[in-house]
Structure 1
């Protein structure tokens, strides 16, 4: 194994350069070159597997894998696939397919809310028992007091405004959030204490679940990770896809959003 020093030192020296070099003038002011270093950062997500690393090295240089090594890699890949759990969930279209609502289970015991999965925002917020009654029109409500895994995040608030000027705001809890077969514990659930009229009128929509980068999350004073960024730590790859087809949601099979999770 090649040694891995904690610091790679890179030092530039003037010795040996011709005085005619345009970078190193023989006339004042003379350049002052200083050494600098680049710190090595450990990849905590890396899980070493000797046969796999050997196979990658042989493949890199075009060498043929011995039969015994190829069999070991095949068994290892088969074990990874066997350990993988998968889950899928229906995405039900609203009128004219303007949005797709997905059942999301929050808390323990789980409370099911139909949320709009939004790729352009990063807040997971819901209608709840904290939402004023005059702002609720038939939506399912998340009740943190009925979940034995909910925990209020003292001092945290959120406020979001979307491109169509609709908005919502409120306070924050941590709770378990499950979509299909994938559950995230301690996920930030933003509880609405105020919603705009457009959200109130949409009785089918119980909130939004943002899938964009967490840099857009509006929780303050400390920004929260999105559900997907938390879930990605246990996925084969940090990727999500959606197969949503025009009018197909009204027939079988319905459009699905599928997540894959591995126990490896």
Structure 2
């Protein structure tokens, strides 16, 4: 695991100066088939990360947001999102990040969030506690929805039906905020916020977050409480504690009734 972590950090270090160099510069924004934005920066960062991974682990697979999958049948597959929060990136908002995960037999065993403009890096592993910039971090210990702060990246990510679930959960909480992209999960791992509910995510958006949240004492699943996998439907619920997670799942289940 130490070797895998070193490789992940090397890939993030290759990404960081590239992301910084493109930030707040004129960039042509293209639209992908799903209408999400992409820029030269996304592609350049993914190529740099893939080069590190292919050099260090030629027998491993790679799943990237921009260039798809190679070696999907390998036991170990790296998952990368070069710029998570492209909408923030192209708007000059520094709350975008770079994500990386390592899957073993389809299960995320290592995950990383790097915030290039903020100088914060979270690393989660299945064999030890999550760390931010080398220091162990823990989720908050809140267990009641009425004490919890709920985050989502944007109300636009929900369908009208999904937003009804989000709104129902948020009404039971102390407050809600929008924004953050992957940064919200780092904040949850470090004990600053309590709940995150999102929809429309892809495997490269959520799989890197699993070891980070769980390694800090939190719980992250789909909306029904099932583990997140490559085949999950992109509905993600993260909570600071098991009790808080259970109550959030119950609230979502009741909203469906």
Q: TM-score, normalised by structure 1?
A: 0.20
> Which protein is richer in helix relative to its size?
2
Higher relative contact order (CA 8 A, sep 6+): 1
